[in-house]
């Protein structure tokens, strides 16, 4: 919010309402997160990016310039760092980008808060799939995932789920930028402060508004900072000092023995600090707060079924901080309601609570907003059109005029935090006046204890560790204060850019600056441990969460963090290998296979490479042997599962318009992007991690053999021979597991029970003459391209029906039971985008018939036509060729269809008056596959899917082919279970290939449960 005529407060380096971005950081074993924006553009997409820090270098960098070098204050005990993960950014060994979380309103993120993981029962707002929980380790129970809250410049609060790394909801209501966020975990509160001068308190399990707090007058300006102090930490005040100019009495009346949860402090643009007790005393005297936390069941009352939206507040412009424009005047006259989830605008139906004049100080009801410059008639209109109607559980409050330190500083109060000083809890405030004030928050007053003066510029950021305070200043200075002795013990100067965010983890301090860099300081030596460019521009906020010490005695393995932990780095490294099955990438394929072999061995498998065909890629064979104690009820022989996958990928080039480097995995909004993440490297690691987790806990009751080839995308050359040669090593197999297909949408988990087979053929028509000129020979010679077009046209009728005699004679008839499966798919997809996608691009408008045609009917396609020599408009080519594929279905025979195909082409070519020659080459074949839906292994998988997703899976077929699947069933005499992990939008084989982190995590858990369940079959 700008001052009149562009004036700014003392030493104000930035206008908060125009700041470009905020940043979140996760450190420790799990994650390190940040936000991303570029202030060079007028409207920015705010976001969060997650990175992972590597250990500090063994040899620290030289100490930065400092003023004096007194003994350092003790910080906290050192935590061990994990081994350095493979970095995706060679120039940045300190951090690896995990994901970017993007806001959906096109605005910059200015503030963030991170809510730690909690128990399932406390969250009553499940997402689309019925739960947001994630397993702490596969098969060991669930914990409710935490969230990231990001306040945007547009007044919205975005809610991201840490388990899925995806946007969950958006809270609306603020009419100004959300400049500060504060979590109160013990009350399930999120508190937001805004440039509209209001504070909102949200109930985090339901994302509903609980309190709406107004300033005491219209000159408060922006609320820039927040701090929460539990009531038990407030010191007893001295009533005799209440009249002191630096003492500000509140003296709220006490009601029996019931006390507020705590006190909220707000740092304001008008240089004041204001405070209020929550829940307010009048509420304590009458009833529980709208969302009481003493309900152990976590259930809400019927009135609390809230919305993540709250009514907007139409702020009366400040006479000092705001210049009133005609747009502002119109806004104060005409109310605009908040958006409902459907996108329509509506007001809620309840009224503002009416409080008596005897309401306790610090919690007075807010009067109706003043009408600025309106006539009596206009004021009457305003009263009618802008009346705020809050939800039944919302209480509207106002700061009391006596609960203010009016001139806490001589500049904007940018930051507030809690710290310790001589065993006392103190409130610390930083300002544009360059000073730091220490306050004693008493039960009845707020007392100024000390002022820490500085010759440096504005204080913009705080971080505290017990009695040590870190203060980030404008101009790139970090001052380290001992709050017991009130002395500066160190001055760090990493650069000349404003320090806008500070975060402390154990013996490390992370500082974020206006130039987009993040520095890591070793607090044992105060040396700079490293620096990296985290953002393109300003970083405004940081936070640390989900931190665990990497103690060797911890039962949690790095793999327990799933694809936000070591599996992320493993998959990123695997993606970096360009395992394209061609001669150019043969060595890189070999290196990729060796890396995969090493990873699987480290996960607990016995591994080796099986040579394939000469000049082809090897097969990686890995065996996770059962190690769980045998159960009395189980059979003497352990069951043995064969998993089939492939590590080779299709090519990816810059000309395909990737948004990211296809060989450097990146994350965005809960998705991982990179060539091979879904086809098939991600599923490989998910399934290996499932077996590894069970084995690590000595709970693996079956053997899992993984056969992972490197030639699947080019026809699986040498795979069958390698399997047959090593049949004894692989052993007898009870069931085959495959994960090489996709859901039909993004919302419904699936089980694939059928694939079409394929015949790839090349037709070539050759002339005995060289290329001819059409102006000389046109009409007087048999043209190969014309002959080719004619025989291609004979393959299908105008309506697309294949005209090969006997082509449909062996197609299995559709049963009523199978038709029921397709009808269930169409029924469940009603009302969503998935149903539209079923017929998108199809000439068949009926979704049911479209599925039947695509999945269980044979088809013939012409893929390309080529000519010999240059494609000139006057040239008659001497030869022409075409690539054709035929998709076959049960119960068609490969040999029979090939024979009929060749016979038809020969007959059609014989009808032509031509001297040219026709050759037909079958380049690749794969038989169809149909699963057994009555198999107990399929039933077990369906139950595991239902338990994890809280949705029964859809049973689907696919029109594509997996050449090795029918072979494996025949070779081992075992049925296969085809379990797709990815979704229909994963873009396999296409630019921007991706897979959702949630699907990988759930896929790992499902396979873990399935391996346990099938041991009892």
- CATH 3.40.630.10 range(s) for the chain read 561-755+929-1014
Predicted confidence at residue 309, as pLDDT, reads 43
Collapsing DSSP to helix, strand or coil, 467 comes out as coil
Integer angstrom CA distances of residue 162 from 49, 147, 860, 883, 999: 12, 5, 46, 47, 14
Collapsing DSSP to helix, strand or coil, 817 comes out as helix
Predicted confidence at residue 801, as pLDDT, reads 94
* C-alpha to C-alpha distance for 694 and 626, rounded to whole angstroms: 9
Predicted confidence at residue 394, as pLDDT, reads 85
Whether 44 has a pLDDT exceeding 60, the answer reads no
* pLDDT band at 566; cut points 50, 70, 90: confident
Whether 82 has a pLDDT exceeding 80, the answer reads no
189 backbone dihedrals φ, ψ, rounded to 5°: -115, 145
**What is the H or E stretch that residue 589 is in?**
helix 586-602
Whether 751 has a pLDDT exceeding 50, the answer reads yes
Sign of CA dihedral 409, 410, 414, 420: negative
Predicted confidence at residue 39, as pLDDT, reads 30
Mean pLDDT of 400-413: 93
Integer angstrom CA distances of residue 692 from 63, 562, 619, 646, 685: 43, 12, 20, 19, 10
* C-alpha to C-alpha distance for 299 and 565, rounded to whole angstroms: 33
Q: Report percent pLDDT > 90 for the chain.
A: 57
Of the two residues 293 and 316, the one the predictor is more confident about is 316
Mean pLDDT of 84-113: 65
- CATH 3.30.70.360 range(s) for the chain read 757-811+857-926
Eight-class DSSP state of 243:
T
Collapsing DSSP to helix, strand or coil, 567 comes out as helix
Q: Which CATH number fits domain 757-811+857-926: 3.30.429.10, 3.30.70.360, 3.90.1300.10, 2.40.50.420?
A: 3.30.70.360
Integer angstrom CA distances of residue 866 from 566, 871, 916: 47, 9, 16
Of the two residues 202 and 115, the one the predictor is more confident about is 202
DSSP string, 603-650: TT-EEEEEP-STTSPPEEEEEE---SPPPTTS-SSPPEEEEEEE--B-
Sign of CA dihedral 158, 159, 160, 166: negative
Predicted confidence at residue 387, as pLDDT, reads 31
Region of 674 please: left (phi>0), alpha (psi -120 to 50) or beta: left
Sign of CA dihedral 555, 557, 560, 561: positive
Antiparallel, parallel or unpaired: β 619-624 and 703-709: antiparallel
Whether 860 has a pLDDT exceeding 60, the answer reads yes
* pLDDT band at 844; cut points 50, 70, 90: confident
Predicted confidence at residue 839, as pLDDT, reads 73
* pLDDT band at 997; cut points 50, 70, 90: very high
Whether 388 has a pLDDT exceeding 90, the answer reads no
Predicted confidence at residue 826, as pLDDT, reads 92
Region of 965 please: left (phi>0), alpha (psi -120 to 50) or beta: alpha
Predicted confidence at residue 473, as pLDDT, reads 96
**CATH tag, 561-755+929-1014:** 3.40.630.10
Integer angstrom CA distances of residue 766 from 689, 782, 862, 903, 915: 54, 10, 19, 19, 9
Predicted confidence at residue 870, as pLDDT, reads 75
Of the two residues 689 and 323, the one the predictor is more confident about is 689
In tens, the pLDDT along 595-652 reads 999 999 999 999 999 999 999 999 999 999 999 998 776 667 899 999 999 999 999 9
Name the residue among 99, 107, 101 with its Cα closest to residue 45: 107
Sign of CA dihedral 771, 777, 778, 784: negative
* Burial (0-12, 13-18, 19+ Cβ within 10 Å), 450: middle
Listed range (265-274, 446-455, 560-569) with the worst mean pLDDT: 560-569
Predicted confidence at residue 55, as pLDDT, reads 37
Whether 255 has a pLDDT exceeding 50, the answer reads no
* C-alpha to C-alpha distance for 661 and 676, rounded to whole angstroms: 12
* pLDDT band at 284; cut points 50, 70, 90: low
Which position has the token pair 């690896």? 96
Predicted confidence at residue 315, as pLDDT, reads 46
In tens, the pLDDT along 727-736 reads 999 999 999 9
Whether 17 has a pLDDT exceeding 90, the answer reads no
**What is the H or E stretch that residue 191 is in?**
strand 189-194
Q: How many CA atoms lie within 13 A of 560 on its CB side?
A: 20
Rounded to the nearest integer, the mean pLDDT of the chain is 78
Predicted confidence at residue 914, as pLDDT, reads 93
Of the two residues 59 and 678, the one the predictor is more confident about is 678
Listed range (44-53, 79-88, 801-810) with the worst mean pLDDT: 79-88
Predicted confidence at residue 934, as pLDDT, reads 95
In tens, the pLDDT along 116-167 reads 776 544 443 333 233 333 333 333 344 456 899 999 999 999 999 888 888 8
Sign of CA dihedral 763, 768, 773, 778: negative
Whether 679 has a pLDDT exceeding 50, the answer reads yes
Predicted confidence at residue 740, as pLDDT, reads 94
Of the two residues 931 and 566, the one the predictor is more confident about is 931
Structure tokens at 344: 């329509």
Listed range (156-160, 310-314, 814-818) with the worst mean pLDDT: 310-314
Predicted confidence at residue 633, as pLDDT, reads 66
Instruction: Give the best-scoring range by mean pLDDT among 63-72, 547-556, 788-797.
Output: 788-797
- Say whether the peptide bond before residue 979 is cis (omega within 30 degrees of 0): no
* C-alpha to C-alpha distance for 785 and 912, rounded to whole angstroms: 13
Collapsing DSSP to helix, strand or coil, 705 comes out as strand
Q: Report percent pLDDT > 70 for the chain.
A: 72
Whether 486 has a pLDDT exceeding 50, the answer reads yes
Eight-class DSSP state of 873:
T
In three-state form (DSSP H/G/I as H, E/B as E, the rest C), the secondary structure along 244-294 is CCCECCCCCCCECCECCCEEEEEEECCCCEEEEEECCHHHHHHCCCCCCCC
Of the two residues 676 and 233, the one the predictor is more confident about is 676
**Is 802:859 a contact under the CB 8 Å cutoff?**
yes
Listed range (387-396, 430-439, 855-864) with the worst mean pLDDT: 387-396
Whether 273 has a pLDDT exceeding 70, the answer reads yes
Whether 197 has a pLDDT exceeding 60, the answer reads yes
DSSP string, 480-537: EEETTTTEEEEEE-S-SS-EEEEEEETTEEEEEETTSEEEEEETTTTEEEEEEE--SS
Predicted confidence at residue 470, as pLDDT, reads 97
Instruction: Give the best-scoring range by mean pLDDT among 58-62, 85-89, 312-316.
Output: 312-316
């Amino acid at each position: 919010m700008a001052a009149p005529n562009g004036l700014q407060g003392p030493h104000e380096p930035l206008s908060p309402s125009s700041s470009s971005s905020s940043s979140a950081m996760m450190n420790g074993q799990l994650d390190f997160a940040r936000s991303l924006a570029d202030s060079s553009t007028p409207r920015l997409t705010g976001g969060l990016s997650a990175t992972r820090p590597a250990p500090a270098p063994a040899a620290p960098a030289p100490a930065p310039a400092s003023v004096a070098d007194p003994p350092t204050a003790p910080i906290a005990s050192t935590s061990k760092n994990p081994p350095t993960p493979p970095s995706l950014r060679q120039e940045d060994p300190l951090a690896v980008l995990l994901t970017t979380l993007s806001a959906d309103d096109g605005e910059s993120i200015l503030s963030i808060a991170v809510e730690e993981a909690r128990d399932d029962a406390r969250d009553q707002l499940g997402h689309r799939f019925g739960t947001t929980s994630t397993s702490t380790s596969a098969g060991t129970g669930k914990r409710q995932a935490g969230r990231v809250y990001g306040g945007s410049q547009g007044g919205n609060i975005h809610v991201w789920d840490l388990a899925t790394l995806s946007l969950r909801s958006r809270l609306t209501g603020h009419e100004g930028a959300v400049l500060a966020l504060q979590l109160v975990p013990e009350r399930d509160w999120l508190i937001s402060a805004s440039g509209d001068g209001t504070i909102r308190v949200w109930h985090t399990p339901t994302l509903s508004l609980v309190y709406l707090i107004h300033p005491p007058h219209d000159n408060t300006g922006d609320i820039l900072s927040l701090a929460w102090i539990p009531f038990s930490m407030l010191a007893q005040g001295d009533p005799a000092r209440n009249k002191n100019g630096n003492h500000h009495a509140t003296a709220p009346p006490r009601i029996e023995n019931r006390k507020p949860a705590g006190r909220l402090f707000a740092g304001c643009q008008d240089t004041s600090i204001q405070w209020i007790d929550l829940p307010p005393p009048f509420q304590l005297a009458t009833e529980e707060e709208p969302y009481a936390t003493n309900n152990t069941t976590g259930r809400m009352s019927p009135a609390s079924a809230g919305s993540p939206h709250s009514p907007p507040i139409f702020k009366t412009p400040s006479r000092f901080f705001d210049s009133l424009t005609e747009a502002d005047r119109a806004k104060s006259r005409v109310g605009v309601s908040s958006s409902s989830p459907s996108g329509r605008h509506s007001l809620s139906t309840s009224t503002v609570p009416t409080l008596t004049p005897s309401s306790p100080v610090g919690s007075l009801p807010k009067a109706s907003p003043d009408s600025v410059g309106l006539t009596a008639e206009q004021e009457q209109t305003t009263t009618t059109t802008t009346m705020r109607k809050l939800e039944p559980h919302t209480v509207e409050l106002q700061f009391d005029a006596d609960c203010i330190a009016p001139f806490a500083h001589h500049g904007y109060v940018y930051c507030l935090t809690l710290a310790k000083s001589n065993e006392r809890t103190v409130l610390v405030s930083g300002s544009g006046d360059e000073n730091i004030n220490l306050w004693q928050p008493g039960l009845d007053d707020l007392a100024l204890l000390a002022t820490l003066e500085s010759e440096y510029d504005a204080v913009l950021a705080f971080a505290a560790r017990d009695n040590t305070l870190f203060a980030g200043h404008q101009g790139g200075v970090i001052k380290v204060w001992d709050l017991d002795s009130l002395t500066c013990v160190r001055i760090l100067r990493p650069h000349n850019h404003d320090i806008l965010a500070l975060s402390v983890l154990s013996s490390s301090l992370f500082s974020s600056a206006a130039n987009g860099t993040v520095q890591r300081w070793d607090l044992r030596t105060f040396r700079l441990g490293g620096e990296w460019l985290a953002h393109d521009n300003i970083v405004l906020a940081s936070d640390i969460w989900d931190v665990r010490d990497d103690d060797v005695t911890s039962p949690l393995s790095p793999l327990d963090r799933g694809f936000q932990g070591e599996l992320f780095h493993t998959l990123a490294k695997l993606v970096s290998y360009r395992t394209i099955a061609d001669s150019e990438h043969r060595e890189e394929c070999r290196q990729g296979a060796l890396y995969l072999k090493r990873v699987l061995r480290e996960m607990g498998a016995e591994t080796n490479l099986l040579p394939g065909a000469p000049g082809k890629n090897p097969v990686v064979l890995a065996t996770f042997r059962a190690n769980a104690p045998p159960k009395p009820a189980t059979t003497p022989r352990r069951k043995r599962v064969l998993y089939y996958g492939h590590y080779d990928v299709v090519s990816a080039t810059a000309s395909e318009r990737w948004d990211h480097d296809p060989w450097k995995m990146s994350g965005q909004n809960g998705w991982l992007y990179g060539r091979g993440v879904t086809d098939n490297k991600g599923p490989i690691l998910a399934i290996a991690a499932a077996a590894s987790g069970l084995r690590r806990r000595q709970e693996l009751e079956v053997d899992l053999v993984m056969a992972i080839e490197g030639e699947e995308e080019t026809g699986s050359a040498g795979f069958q021979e390698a399997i047959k040669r090593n049949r004894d090593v692989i052993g007898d197999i009870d069931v085959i597991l495959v994960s090489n297909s996709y859901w039909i949408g993004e919302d419904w988990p699936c089980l694939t029970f059928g694939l079409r087979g394929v015949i790839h053929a090349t037709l070539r028509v050759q002339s005995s003459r060289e290329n001819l000129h059409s102006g000389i020979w046109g009409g007087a010679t048999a043209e190969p391209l014309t002959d080719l077009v004619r025989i291609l046209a004979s393959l299908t009728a105008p309506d697309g029906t294949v005209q090969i005699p006997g082509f449909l004679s062996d197609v299995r008839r559709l049963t009523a039971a199978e038709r029921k499966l397709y009808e269930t798919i169409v029924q469940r997809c009603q009302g969503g985008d998935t149903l539209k996608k079923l017929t998108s691009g199809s000439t068949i408008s009926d979704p049911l018939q479209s599925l039947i045609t695509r999945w269980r009917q044979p088809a013939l396609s012409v893929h390309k036509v080529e000519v010999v020599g240059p494609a000139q408009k006057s040239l008659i080519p001497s030869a022409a060729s075409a690539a054709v594929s035929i998709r076959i279905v049960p119960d068609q025979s490969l040999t029979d269809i090939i024979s009929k195909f060749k016979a038809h082409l020969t007959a059609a070519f014989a009808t032509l008056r031509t001297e040219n020659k026709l050759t037909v080459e079958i380049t690749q074949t794969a038989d169809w596959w149909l699963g057994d839906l009555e198999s107990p292994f399929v039933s077990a998988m369906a139950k595991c899917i239902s338990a994890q997703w809280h949705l029964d899976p859809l049973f689907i077929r696919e029109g594509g082919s997996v050449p090795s699947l029918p072979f494996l069933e025949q070779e081992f005499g075992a049925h296969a279970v085809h379990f797709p992990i990815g979704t229909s939008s994963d873009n396999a084989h296409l630019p921007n290939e991706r897979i959702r982190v949630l699907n990988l995590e759930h896929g790992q858990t499902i396979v873990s449960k399935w391996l346990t369940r099938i041991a009892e079959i």
